[in-house]
Amino acid sequence: MFRHMQNSEIIRKMTEEFDEDSGDYPLTMAGPQWKKFKSSFCEFIGVLVRQCQYSIIYDEYMMDTVISLLTGLSDSQVRAFRHTSTLAAMKLMTALVNVALNLSINMDNTQRQYEAERNKIIGKRANDRLELLLQKRKELQENQDEIENMMNAIFKGVFVHRYRDAIAEIRAICIEEIGIWMKMYSDAFLNDSYLKYVGWTMHDKQGEVRLKCLTALQGLYYNKELNSKLELFTSRFKDRIVSMTLDKEYDVAVQAIKLLTLVLQSSEEVLTAEDCENVYHLVYSAHRPVAVAAGEFLYKKLFSRRDPEDDGILKRRGRQSPNANLVKTLVFFFLESELHEHAAYLVDSMWDCATDLLKDWECMNSLLLEEPLNGEEPLTDRQESALIEIMLCTIRQAAECHPPVGRGTGKRVLTAKEKKTQLDDRTKITELFAVALPQLLAKYSVDAEKVTNLLQLPQYFDLEIYTTGRLEKHLDALLRQIRDIVEKHTDIDVLEACSKTYHALCNEEFTIFNRVDIARSQLIDELADKFNRLLEDFLQEGEEPDEDDAYQVLSTLKRITAFHNAHDLSRWDLFGCNYKLLKTGIENGDMPEQIVIHALQCTHYVILWQLAKITESSSTKEDLLRLKKQMRVFCQICQHYLTNVNTAVKEQAFTILCDVLMIFSHQIMTGGRDMLEPLVYTPDSSLQSELLSFILDHVFIDQDDDNNSADGQQDDEASKIEALHKRRNLLAAFCKLIVYTVVEMNTAADIFKQYMKYYNDYGDIIKETMSKTRQIDKIQCAKTLILSLQQLFNEMIQENGYNFDRSSPTFSGIKELARRFALTFGLDQLKTREAIAMLHKDGIEFAFKEPNPQGESHPPLNLAFLDILSEFSSKLLRQDKRTVYVYLEKFMTFQMSLRREDVWLPLMSYRNSLLAGGDDDTMSVISGISSRGSTVRNKKTKPATGKRKVPEAEESSSSDSMWMNREQTMHTPVMMQTPQLTSTIMREPKRLRPEENYMGVYPMQPEHHQAPLDYKQQEEAARQQQERAAMNYVKLRTNLQHAIRRGTSLMEDDEEPIVEDVMMSSEGRIEDLNEGMDFDTMDIDLPPSKNRRERTELKPDFFDPASIMDESVLGVSMF
């Protein structure tokens, strides 16, 4: 083929024989064998050049032929040829660069030998050797010129065009290889003439290409000897690299941060403080690789430098260790990051690169307990709180060995080395803080925030060390401190931390259990006795309780509730006293709200612990009956408090009531627990109604109407977010009852109808509820959806009356909600067939439910609902449309079918939506077109020659307005006899224009075929002809609307599309990038030499760079 055909003929023949329709070729095919093929293909090219580097590549035939063919193929419009030839050409170029580098080294060696021989004295100089070295140098120079010409041909013929190819993979190949060239042979390629291509391509729209740019630059910046050649490039493109740390592709962002770390190591002066701050805040990113890369950058910048003075104190420990200043620096950085309060994220980001610093707990402990040295500033209260929080996070990270919540996909299996490290760290933590923790608690016992964090440390102790290390006295000191803290504090967080600490220490597997259990029991005994005594005085009749008594009752109740959350206090029988307290509150109505809230919570814990006890062990019938009685009485109390005047009390009662109903539903018997059947409790209709009313009154409200924010902070953004979070939890609690069929599914109608109005706040919860209910019962879910639309329709009627405007925002909103409901049914019409049919049945019955009191000549009062129902017609199967249509006719009278006033438009519109794609003969052509919605969309509608044209204004108007314009001249087509079909229906459907199809169904007879008519007959015929044409157009519009909607919206998510740029955030455009660098493509010039032969002419580039580059790049000359 090469001997008898030119390259152009070869390429033409290859193009003709290639099956481009398949789109598959080896470089894009998946599977290990194709990956191996690609690597072997690249390796083959390198081996070929390496084996031929001494002779064959200089024969002026093989390399010329290969380069010429690859250059031609790289300009092919066939992607497979262009991709494969570009890869081959770039690998060939890489191999030639390696050859050129070897030649350069050999030339240097030859030149050095020549100079050494020539500098010898004449007597010792070997003239033959000089001539050989001179000849060798000349030969090497010629070979280098030859290689230089080959590389120039490939670079200009392939790279310069393909680095901006329309295919991202091809662009990535080019950038990856030029990075190799610059790294391999920096003397020839590492200059601004080649760096500019990498700089330009950093603005590429595809993350894959941007990633190759960054990895190529990393290889260059890693070598500090090359930094001087990168100064100009760094100054021009530094801002772009910094902005890429916010790239929407996380892999690109990670590599951008790593590149900046290399830049920082090469020269700290290059990056400004603002540049560094842009990277610093990424340590709080939820994406762990980004955060870890930013943590390494932060560590290199702020923590890796060590003063010479520190060398003498490397062996010092505690407050005098070299890590002391670094720990303070970490605290200062954390406090300065005011927008972030996640110490766990900061610790996790630096865990891999600063492990020794973060595990220096002895230093942290010394900074908290020891007095500052002479001349050293003590830590402020805020700094001490930050240090304690960071210390807690480091201990948690070391003990649990997994990232904090929000980072990572879950716990991973630890290796043997990691498990050993974990055990060693826990031992170190326990030995240090078993002694230090009581001292820390004693020092900060009055500070709630510090105490809350410190009390979490025992959760990560190895409790066996208390016994093996003989640390029992320190355990007793810890228990005394916890007891004192319980007596001093009433803050819920502090009390719950104390409760969890007791729970962690009360482990029956360890010998310290008895010691801790005794201390816990003594504390609970005192609290329970005190609570009973105070409650008796508090509830005495005839006496008005003062504030001090109420405070004492509340503080004691808080402590008991906090402990009851984690500990079984059943033997103290707390149900009776709490019930008495709540009952009194209902009767008198003057009980302080906080007492009621905590009494409800404590009673809830009592019931849950009793249930757990019955479930885990064999129980008597009396235990079941007692729990059943207590649970039902408690539900009644909660139901009473749903009507309390205080919102916080109502929210607490609602939340607890939803939890109890969920726990004691029929789900309680799952898993073989049939013996718990007596405990099943199903809420009656009144309770369901009250729960629903609470949701409607307290969840579906405007933000401005929510007055639950504390201290009147109505405009505080944080308080608004917190209030929204609380409302979402309330709604989720009720929706769980719907999903698990604890309450009737039709109660969800009042929730579903709020879908559009409160989409931003609760759209995800309502949509998930729809999905779950549909999985449980498709038909009942469909009935609930139509019920919600009926409720909205009735509300509109009550507000506006029956003579409302169907173009009003309210009615349009109901129609849009129906459209969204229809989208949730998905694409599989067979699965939802019965549900959709039932939905139409209920909708039709509702539309004709209320007859008009003025008689049959007036439409039913709810007839307009059919306009809403038509949104679901596209979800019906073709055969089901006919069935629904027949069912619709049962409600219609003959007079209804003849009405054509504006008020009857919903009926006509709904009937047309059922006829579109139906089985009847009159609509067979329509169904043929509707089944090919894409054909209708893609082809422009042309006016039918010789047939009536629809005016443009009429085409652009809605079907409703069209019907109104023709209300005096139009008959409904439903009751007509089926007209005789013409031969139009026998044509190829996709060749028909829509107007022709419909005119074919209702043909217009040419005038010369009509018999002579008098004036009235002619007028009547013209009127009927106009009516039929108008009806055909209405059907066409309806059918096209449904076809387009099916084609474009079935995959629509109920969210606004998010249009993302390459960057998550960008500030301005890169300006003044063309200063100081040459734009023109340079010849590859190794040492100075002249080209000895010209290569083939370069073909023009057929690919537009605007399709792959940002607009901000193309408009600016960067060099």
C-beta of residue 352 within 8 angstroms of C-beta of residue 398 = no
Residue 52 pLDDT grade (very low, low, confident, very high; cuts 50, 70, 90): confident
Q: Assign 60 to helix, strand or coil.
A: coil
Helix axes 778-800, 759-776, angle to 10 degrees: 140
**According to the model, what pLDDT value does residue 617 have?**
76
What is the overall mean pLDDT for the chain? 79
CB 607 within 8 A of CB 631: yes
Q: Which of these, 636, 537, 520, lies nearest to 577 by C-alpha position?
A: 537
Is the per-residue pLDDT at 955 higher than 50? no
In sequence order, the β-bridge partners of residue 738 are: none
Give the pLDDT band (50/70/90) at residue 953: very low
Q: Please determine, for residue 497, whether its predicted confidence score (pLDDT) is greater than 70.
A: yes
The b-or-e profile of 522-542 (16+ CB within 10 A means b, else e) is ebbeebbebbeebbeebbeee
Beta bridge partners of 247: 1063
Q: What is the DSSP letter of 305?
A: -
pLDDT above 70 covers what percent of the chain?
Answer: 77
pTM of the prediction? 0.74
Q: How confident is the model at residue 627 (pLDDT cuts 50, 70, 90)?
A: very high
pLDDT of residue 680: 92
pLDDT of residue 992: 34
Position 1000 pLDDT exceeds 50: no
pLDDT band at 115 (very low <50, low <70, confident <90, very high): confident
- pLDDT for residue 870: 92
The mean per-residue pLDDT over the stretch 391-419 comes to 88
Q: Shortest CA distance to 750 belongs to which of 663, 668, 688, 837? A: 688
Q: pLDDT tens for residues 925-946?
A: 333 333 333 333 343 333 343 3
Q: How many helices (H) and strands (E) does the chain have?
A: 48, 0
Q: How confident is the model at residue 1049 (pLDDT cuts 50, 70, 90)?
A: very low
| pLDDT surpassing 50 at residue 807 | yes
Strand (E) or helix (H) holding 495:
helix 492-505
Residue 409: CB atoms within 10 A of its CB come to: 7
In this predicted model, what pLDDT tens digit does every residue of 971-995 receive, in sequence order?
333 333 333 333 333 333 333 333 3
> Rounded to whole angstroms, how far apart are CA atoms 914 and 881?
5
Token output for 761: 């706040």
- As a whole number of angstroms, the distance between CA 752 and CA 81 comes to 55
What lies within 8 Å, CB to CB, of 409 at 6+ separation is none
For the CA atoms of the chain, what is the radius of gyration? 41
Higher pLDDT, 1057 or 225: 225
Cβ 795 vs Cβ 849: under 8 Å = no
d(CA 814, CA 1042): 18
Q: What is the C-alpha to C-alpha distance for residues 774 and 1089, in angstroms, rounded to an integer? A: 78
Reply yes or no on whether the pLDDT at 1075 is more than 80. Answer: no
